[in-house]
Structure 1
Amino acid sequence: MITKPQFRPFFVFFIWVLSSALEHNFPNCENPSSQENFTFHCNTNESQNHCDTFALLRATSRFSSLTNLSSFLGINRIALAQANNFSSNTEFVPRDQPLLVPIQCVCNGGGFFEAELTRTALKGESFDGIASVLEGLTDCEAIREKNPSLSLWNVGEKVKLVIPLRCACPSSYEINQKVNFLISYPVSEGDSVLDLALKFNLTPETIISANNRSGASFKPQKLLPLSTILIPVEEKPVFGSREKSDLGFPQGKRKSKMWRFGIYVALGGVVFGAGIAILATFWVIQWRRKKEISGKMADLELQQLGLSIRTTSEKRLVETYTIEELRKATEDFSSSNLIEGSVFHGRLNGKNLAIKGTNTKTLAKVELGLFQDTTHHHPNIIRLIGTCSAEGNSDSFLVFEYAKNGSLKDWLHGGLAMKSHFIASCYCFLNWSQRLKICLDVAMALHYMHHIMIPSYVHGNIKSRNIFLDEEFVAKIGNFGLPNVATELSQSWSKGYLAPEYTPQGNLSPSIDIFAYGVVLLEVLSGKTPITEETGEGRVWLSEKIKSIVQANNAEGLSEWMDSALGEDYSFDGAVTLANLARACVENDSSLRPSAGEIVEKLSKLVDDLPEGEQFSICESSSKPLAIEEDK
């Protein structure tokens, strides 16, 4: 395996000593803290012993998709969208956006409140990892109590997993005071009762009172990160796309400046006296914690992609078009609207469409059920919008979502679409950041097909020609739901995507897609086609070439093999990681290939390491770039 230089940060000695001394404060499975610090007492005999309420999570770079979040939590995606006042079509939210998670809180037999989430575990998932992703709404010890028969560090694949969350219901007294919800709020470093009171437009006394039901005495001057406190509110908070410091809580009656001044005077002495020590302690604790879990964090956060069967009453039916409508959309299938092969650009009812000619037999085999509702709509899969079935043996048509920037193949290798639909004088290429994000998009789609869909779906024809780019260069896999055409090898390139175990009549498995995806990664890295003719070497398969490069542990050889269009404008360490990942994907032994989830983990880390605010180099295009091509 090609390795990259390892660098260790320089640690000041006294910080190391202090962090070691404070290490026991973290509630993890190896060193659990008292559960009394994190639970809220209840009385099973009281009338207010169950309620519908909310927990709060903050969107991260890997946690910003509602589909991913709902899958990880085992909560209906539509319910999650409604809880946050999003439209049903909302998928992504800004980083650090607060998100409300609807939960049912009950008083259990042990005398404390809890909410339970039930979902299916993924291979390699750990209790500590789940607790870390949930930011303190639960802890490893609580998860272990709910799942005593499961391994702490390697939960079995497809095992039912119960995740308890900390919560509470308002008492009768609180309801009389117009407290209708107690929001479970995960404490972050730097949070204080005063700041939260101002953000929620509450008094500190109200927050302190709500949290006095905890098992141990509530210490308002020392909010512990990775713990949960209760925020009493009259109505459900409404969040917007705000800065991190402004959570966008609903405004009630404004407190006067004198009130705020009085609060500062009342708490100022305590805060000032303990502030320096507490902030230093919190910083060291958080720093130590991040160091301990850094090697696992991507996998822990990746569990957001866990499986949950989602239902929805909102339907998105595949439309049926008439041949007259399609003629009008394509200017009677004018050659000026021809993209390539039998694919035309069309515009109907103000929407750009990709209209692909096919035959009635093929149309009958399309799995229309995969497109009939929002459950099977993924942002990285080209959506089938409609069909047109002609009578008899006449041509029929499939109408797809339009991808303005064509196929990945044409951006990497050029071709008819590049020559006829992009400005000839513009030297168009994908930069390193774009390539990494495209690879991550495709991996997300494969994870959805392989692990979220029930039953799982194997595409069977992953290749750069079937990966399309929208106007923002978001990648989308095409030919989803169409009859498998992996046996159609009219172009020799297609043979370069086939796994060694593939047989035309054999059953397709997810590992077939992973092998083909690995070849796509190699195309992205090298700019070369899956099979090339090289002087002195003859016909060369990319899947074999990468094995020789990695086996030789030759960094210079990898550098020379990289796509020359990138020049020096890429991360060599990132290229090494991507090359090793691609090498694993094209293993001859299918059992050694990574899963789509593991691929998402590694690529997410690479994308997160990209410089913030980097501008993408986008080449201007005409109005009719490639959208959906004939399969080759």
Structure 2
Amino acid sequence: MDSLSLISLLTLCLFCCSFLIQAQQPYVGRKTTDCENPDTSDSVLGYTCNGVSMSCQSYLVFRSQPLFNNVTSISNLLSSDPSQVATINEVSETATFRTNQMVIVPVNCSCSGDHYQKNTSYTVGGGEGYFLIANNTFQALSTCQAIQNQQPGISTRNLTAGTRITVPLRCACPTKNQTDVGINYLLSYPIAEGDSIQGISELFGADPERTLEANQLPDLRSTIFFFTSLLVPLRDPPSRVTAPSPPPPRASPPPPNSPPGGSSNRTWIYILVGVLGGVGLISVVCMVIFCMFFRKTKKKTDPIISSESFEAYEKPLEKSLDDGSQDFIDSMSSIAQSINLKIYKFEELQVATDDFSTSNHIKGSVYRGVINGDFAAIKKVHGDVSKEIQLLNKVYHSNLIRLSGVCINRGNWYLVYEYAANGALSDWIFNRDDNGKYFSWKDQIQG
């Protein structure tokens, strides 16, 4: 009986080992942005050591940036051999790459514990946390969870400039299933805007179906996200990546021969074009004058945030949050923290606006509030606010109001702006009040 139990146990162990060697790597998805979640799964810490070999030649793709734009700086950042980087990209060791140029970086990938990784050292800069290091500096070739896992006891809040940390880069070795069909290398590719599984595969001459299998994705329509990487299975080492050249301009047809009297015909054409152009210009001027008078008749409203184009009207919450939307909220909270926006509690905004009372209502979904003794404009928005947050933090203008913080409550976002005490910018451009306050054309052009 004991011998039968021992045989069964050994059979089960052999089956499990065989399954692990043949299994592929799961695509991590949006979990990489949830830096505050202590419940980390294997997928965010790295690719599982399930390949035929414990170590292998692997490849990373890195997009050249101002601080890392030559063979030496990129090789040092990713702990690669500069001569290998130069050779595979067909450049000299002193070469400089243009911004956002894709650079192939060979690395020796090996198992460390349960995960494949290539370790590199990095000195923390001022104001950097694990999220920015993983997704900005290393371009999603690592994750904030994996980096923090390498620094036990040091949270992102305890990071200080000058601290030397270990960054595990995401790499992997082929499984038995992959080697059986001729796959010899795996390339880690950080996903960028406009990328698709089909396009990434074709860029490196890979079979899209093999790419799906390598990342355990169901089909080519599967969603892939920023701040994540994709494994690309290759039969041969990758070659230098070149962006497709734009098509050459179409040649202009030769000018026709001028018939007799052509000079006279051209004169009439010039006259006709001049008349039509004058009529068009007059029409445009009339439309501008009409629009200005129409806007002038509108009732002057209370002061609101910088521009009415940013207004959003309150929408009812249609359904409760599911796991996907919660992932999105966590992702947006991490992004807000990474660009130094204050994360407010909903109770703070209730106190600031007297529970969003009608006396503090400005217009649409905008309310006046007092936070730490300063006036603020608080706008309630339902849905994706990422584009508005990114726009308001990238654009600076003396007549635009700064976004200072955000809050999320029951599916609604609350954006906290500086308070525009003098009213909306559009009112100053188009309206003239009783005191004659408005922006002249000179003011608008100089603004």
Shorter-chain TM-score range: 0.3 to 0.5
Q: With structure 1 as the length reference, what TM-score do the two structures score?
A: 0.32
Tell me the TM-score normalized by structure 2: 0.44
